[in-house]
Structures are given as C-alpha cells and as structure tokens.
C-alpha cells in the first residue's frame, strides 16, 4: 500500500465516513486498553478495517457472545 493511501486510511474523518457508508445495523464499540479511549463503528467491516484485522474475527466474537434470545451480552466487549 502506498504511503499516502496508508495515511489517508488512518485519519478519523475517513474512518467515520467509511463506517457510516457500511452501516449494517450492528454497531461495534472498540476500546483501546492503553489509552482507555473507545470508538464506535457503524459496521463490522469498518471496525475490522480500522483494527487491520479480518472481519470474520469480529463476527466470530459476536457469535460466541450472543445470549440465547439473539441479543449480545453487554458484559463482554471487544477490547
């Protein structure tokens, strides 16, 4: 990836726009354990892109932490 494109992807404005454009109805909150800051993404794909991981890792995590009625367990989170 070119250096200029890499810098563009890292800007918050770009990530916010991408998150809104990929809205899937599932909001993903990501917490940085070092800085204690959290960011909410409007799509799994946007969160995965920001974390530089495959979206299947997040989908798998959500699937494993669902309650029997289909809701997500709010006591655990992606950290």
**CB-CB contact of 28 with 58 (8 Å):** yes
CA distances from 47 to 4, 13, 36, 60, 69 (A): 21, 14, 17, 14, 25
| The pLDDT value given to residue 65 | 81
| The pLDDT value given to residue 43 | 87
Across the chain, which has 79 residues, the per-10-residue mean pLDDT values are: 53 64 73 91 90 93 76 53
Q: CA–CA separation, 79 vs 74, rounded Å?
A: 13
Spatial CB neighbours of 29, under 8 Å, sequence gap ≥ 6: 38, 39, 40, 41, 77, 78
């Amino acid at each position: 990836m070119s250096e200029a494109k890499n810098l563009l992807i890292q800007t918050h404005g770009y990530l916010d726009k991408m998150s809104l454009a990929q809205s899937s109805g599932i909001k993903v909150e990501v917490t940085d354990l070092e800085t204690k800051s959290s960011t909410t993404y409007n799509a799994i794909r946007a969160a995965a892109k920001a974390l530089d991981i495959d979206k299947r890792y997040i989908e798998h995590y959500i699937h494993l932490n669902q309650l029997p009625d289909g809701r997500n367990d709010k006591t655990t989170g992606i950290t």
